[in-house]
Amino acid sequence: MHVAALQMVSGIHVAANLAVARQLLERAAAQGAELAVLPEYFCVMGLKDTDKLEVQEAAGEGPIQDFLARSARELGLWVVGGTVPLRASDRRHVRNSSLVYAPSGQCVARYDKIHLFRFDNGIEQYDESRVIECGAEPVTFELPSADGHNYRVGLSICYDLRFPELYRAMKADVLLVPSAFTRTTGQAHWEALLRARAIENLAYVVAAAQGGAHENGRHTWGQSLVVDPWGEVLAQHAQNPAVVMAQVSAERLRAVRLQLPALNHGVL
List 57, 107, 128, 158, catalytic entry: 158
- Written as one string, the DSSP assignment of 234-251 is EEEE-SSSEEEEEE--HH
Nearest C-alpha neighbor of 231 from the set 262, 265, 264, 259 = 259
231-255: b (≥16 Cβ within 10 Å) or e: bebbbbbebebbbbbbebbbebbee
Find out whether 168 and 201 touch, Cβ atoms under 8 Å: yes
What letter represents residue 107's amino acid? Answer: C
Find out whether 58 and 229 touch, Cβ atoms under 8 Å: no
**Largest pairwise CA distance in the chain:** 52
Active-site annotation holds for 40: yes
Find out whether 197 and 231 touch, Cβ atoms under 8 Å: no
List 43, 113, 128, 133, catalytic entry: 113
CA distance linking residue 166 with residue 160, whole number of Å: 8
63-75 vs 14-30: helix crossing angle, rounded to 10: 10
Active-site annotation holds for 158: yes
Find out whether 170 and 163 touch, Cβ atoms under 8 Å: no
DSSP 8-state secondary structure symbol assigned to residue 26: H
List 40, 57, 128, 133, catalytic entry: 40
What letter represents residue 24's amino acid? Answer: L
- Residues classed as catalytic: 40, 113, 158
